[in-house]
């Protein structure tokens, strides 16, 4: 029996993909056709079609661009960059394509990473040149895209299988490639273009931090563009967040630690550069009421110390900065009516403690410049250091408004002795005027006495001296050795008249009897320095022998 036509069952075939869709998906994006369409003057009026083709490009490469297509992609970016300056309607589409560049690029073959490495280097160089476009939204997008692309968290949100047999590049590969490109130089030069835009400058410095982190090659590229002066020039601009100064100082620290000394030295002759660092330092001194400001103050001081170490004749004296640093180094041990320290207060906080130690270190580094010697005498900073040469625990002086804790005092004491080891031989007049020899010998007698003292031994200089006075003995011997190595007969007579020879020989003999078997590196240091001191004193004097 035939079924009437009206009763035929209707079957609706439901498919997720049609054959046409599959063909369309496999059809590669036609870059050449797109480039021709965007550059054809006869299609200039077809604004909507041009924007749609840009959106199609983003949809097609929604998981990231294929590395072998970067040459064509860069051509499109350059074309759109020029079009955006003529017609703002292109900006949205351009920004969308730029944002896709933050995603890991895709490799068709495992060897593509090596084959196209030079092409990717050229791409990143040209990508950085797009910062020339004077449109803030585009500049911001470029900087954010570059920063995001080298973050460890930059992974595609889609599953690995959705890469259509393409493999993404690693963040390490992208970071290495960006460092090999001209990005660092371009970013430094761009600082001048955006000097009036705080947010863009912070983004540039943030990206430079990531690229130049402990990487001498990147730092060398930055130095070719006078990066030190460019960074310092506007670092004190008003910034409610404080991020600009913080990031600038951190980047300078990295540059001074890992950059070429000769390149850096050429950029540190400017009085303006040192004056701006001085302004930043004093600004944090006056605001040292929070952890953040104290830490930033310390970081600025570290940067200044690195500068002095790299270039001792940098204009710290000419700008008056050296005199101010010596003033802070002698505070609060020496009273002063200077307005800078009138309202300045130190606490027992870790930041203030580190600040004091950094100042001692800065004094030593400053002394490398002979011009500073007169300032060292005028500031009486030697008296500050000598005030720590006394038995512990220290007795409270009448009128003292501030005292460090015992462990902090011990650490500062060892720092002071280490600093005097370098400074004191240069200032023999002060040595005799202040009767330093007597103070040193009294301190030495305390270090070898049976007086009980439980040393903390926590500091760098205190290694091996926990629960004893060996660290103090070790460094006072080094100070004696430093003084006697200049072979000044007046110093030798001064110490010999106060009985240094029998005291040291007696201690070394006693030490040899007590520790003939178990000698550690601290004991060996003490013995070697003690013998050297005796040889210096007795070398040319038969009576002393």
Residue that is written with structure tokens 């990147």 in the block: 218
CA distances from 535 to 85, 398, 473, 494, 510 (A): 80, 42, 18, 16, 19
Residue 189 has φ and ψ, to the nearest 5°, of -65, -35
Kindly state whether residue 258 falls inside one of the protein's structural domains. no
Domain extent for 91: 24-181
Under 8 Å between Cβ of 390 and 337: no
CA atoms within 13 A on the CB side of 499: 8
Residue ranges, the chain, pLDDT below 70: 1-26, 156-164, 288, 396-401, 454-467, 515-517, 542, 545
Kindly state whether residue 506 falls inside one of the protein's structural domains. no
Measured between alpha carbons, how far is 210 from 132 in angstroms, rounded to an integer? 21
Q: Is the dihedral of CA 373, 286, 357, 336 positive or negative?
A: positive
Can you give the pLDDT at residue 12? 52
Under 8 Å between Cβ of 93 and 47: no
Number of domains comprising the chain: 1
Kindly state whether residue 369 falls inside one of the protein's structural domains. no
Measured between alpha carbons, how far is 346 from 174 in angstroms, rounded to an integer? 46
Measured between alpha carbons, how far is 174 from 180 in angstroms, rounded to an integer? 10
Measured between alpha carbons, how far is 217 from 260 in angstroms, rounded to an integer? 10
Q: How far is CA 481 from the centre of its chain?
A: 35
Residue that is written with structure tokens 């600009």 in the block: 244
Helix (H, G, I), strand (E, B) or coil at 263: helix
Kindly state whether residue 347 falls inside one of the protein's structural domains. no
pTM: 0.86
Can you give the pLDDT at residue 28? 77
At 370, list the tokens.
Answer: 């002979």
334-343: long-range contacts, CB 8 A cutoff, minimum separation 24 = 334/380, 334/383, 334/384, 340/282, 340/285
Residue closest to 105 by CA, chosen among 32, 140, 156, 36 = 156
Can you give the pLDDT at residue 6? 58
3-state helix, strand, coil in the chain (%, to 5): 65, 0, 35
* Cis bond before residue 131 (omega within 30° of 0): no
CB atoms within 10 A of CB 149: 21
Under 8 Å between Cβ of 66 and 106: yes
What residues form DSSP beta bridges with 167?
107
Task: Number of helices (H) and strands (E) in the chain: give both, helices first.
Answer: 29, 2
Mapping DSSP onto H, E and C, the string for 410-459 reads HHHHHHHHHHHHHHHHHCHHHHHHCCHHHHHHHHHHHHHCCCCCCCCCCC
Kindly state whether residue 143 falls inside one of the protein's structural domains. yes
CA distances from 343 to 150, 221, 331, 381 (A): 46, 43, 12, 20
Kindly state whether residue 134 falls inside one of the protein's structural domains. yes
Kindly state whether residue 124 falls inside one of the protein's structural domains. yes
């Amino acid at each position: 029996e035939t079924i009437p036509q009206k009763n035929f069952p209707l079957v609706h075939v439901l498919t997720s993909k049609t054959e046409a869709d599959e063909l369309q998906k496999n059809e590669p994006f036609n870059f050449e056709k797109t480039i021709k369409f965007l550059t054809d003057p006869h299609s200039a009026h077809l604004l909507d079609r041009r924007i749609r083709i840009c959106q199609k490009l983003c949809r097609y490469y929604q998981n990231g661009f294929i590395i072998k297509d970067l040459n064509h992609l860069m051509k499109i970016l350059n074309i759109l960059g020029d079009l955006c300056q003529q017609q703002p309607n292109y900006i949205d589409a351009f920004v969308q394509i730029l944002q896709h560049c933050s995603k890991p690029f895709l490799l068709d073959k495992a060897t593509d990473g090596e084959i196209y490495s030079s092409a990717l280097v050229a791409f990143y160089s040209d990508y950085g040149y797009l910062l020339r476009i004077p449109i803030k939204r585009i500049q911001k997008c470029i900087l954010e895209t570059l920063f995001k692309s080298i973050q460890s968290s930059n992974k595609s949100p889609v599953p690995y299988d959705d890469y259509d047999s393409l493999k993404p590049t690693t963040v390490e590969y992208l970071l290495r490639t960006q460092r090999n490109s001209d990005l660092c130089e371009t970013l430094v030069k761009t600082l001048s273009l955006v000097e009036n835009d705080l947010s863009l400058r912070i983004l540039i410095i943030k990206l430079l931090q990531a690229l130049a982190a402990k990487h001498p090659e990147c730092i060398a590229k930055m130095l070719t563009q006078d990066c030190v002066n460019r960074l310092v020039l506007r670092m004190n601009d008003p910034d409610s967040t404080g991020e600009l100064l913080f990031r600038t100082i951190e980047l300078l620290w990295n540059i001074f630690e890992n950059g070429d000394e000769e390149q850096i030295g050429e950029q540190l002759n400017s009085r303006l550069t040192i004056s701006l660092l001085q302004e930043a330092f004093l600004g944090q001194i006056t605001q040292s009421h929070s952890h953040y400001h104290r830490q930033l103050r310390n970081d600025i001081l570290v940067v200044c110390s690195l500068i002095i170490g790299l270039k001792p004749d940098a204009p710290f004296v000419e700008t008056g900065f050296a005199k101010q640093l010596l003033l802070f180094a002698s505070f609060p041990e020496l009273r002063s009516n200077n307005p800078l320290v009138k309202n300045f207060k130190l606490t027992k906080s870790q930041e203030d403690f580190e600040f004091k130690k950094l100042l001692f270190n800065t004094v030593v580094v400053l002394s490398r410049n002979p011009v500073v010697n007169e300032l060292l005498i005028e500031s009486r900073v030697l008296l500050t250091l000598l005030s720590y040469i006394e038995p512990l625990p220290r007795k409270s002086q009448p009128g003292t408004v501030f005292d460090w804790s015992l462990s902090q005092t011990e650490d500062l004491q060892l720092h002071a002795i280490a600093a005097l080891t370098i400074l004191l031989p240069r200032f023999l007049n002060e040595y005799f005027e202040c009767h330093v020899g007597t103070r040193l010998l009294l301190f030495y007698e305390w270090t070898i006495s049976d007086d009980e003292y439980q040393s903390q031994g926590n500091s760098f200089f205190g290694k091996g001296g926990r629960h004893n006075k060996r660290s103090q003995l070790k460094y006072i011997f080094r100070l004696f050795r430093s003084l006697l190595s200049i072979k000044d007969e007046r110093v030798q007579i001064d110490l010999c008249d106060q009985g240094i020879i029998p005291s040291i020989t007696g201690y070394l003999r006693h030490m040899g009897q007590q520790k003939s078997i178990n000698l550690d590196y601290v004991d060996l240091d003490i013995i070697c320095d003690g013998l050297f001191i005796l040889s210096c004193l007795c070398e040319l004097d038969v009576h002393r022998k």
